[in-house]
Amino acid sequence: MMFIFDSTGKLEHIEQLSPKLFNKAEGITFFANGDMLITNEAQRMKPTLLRFNYLNR
The answer to whether residue 57 scores a pLDDT higher than 80 is: no
Which pLDDT belongs to residue 36?
95
Is pTM beyond 0.85 here?
A: no
Which pLDDT belongs to residue 33?
94
Residue 38 to residue 26: CA distance in whole angstroms? 7
Residue 42 to residue 30: CA distance in whole angstroms? 21
* pLDDT 10s digits, 1-53: 889 999 999 999 999 988 888 888 889 999 999 999 999 987 777 899 999 99
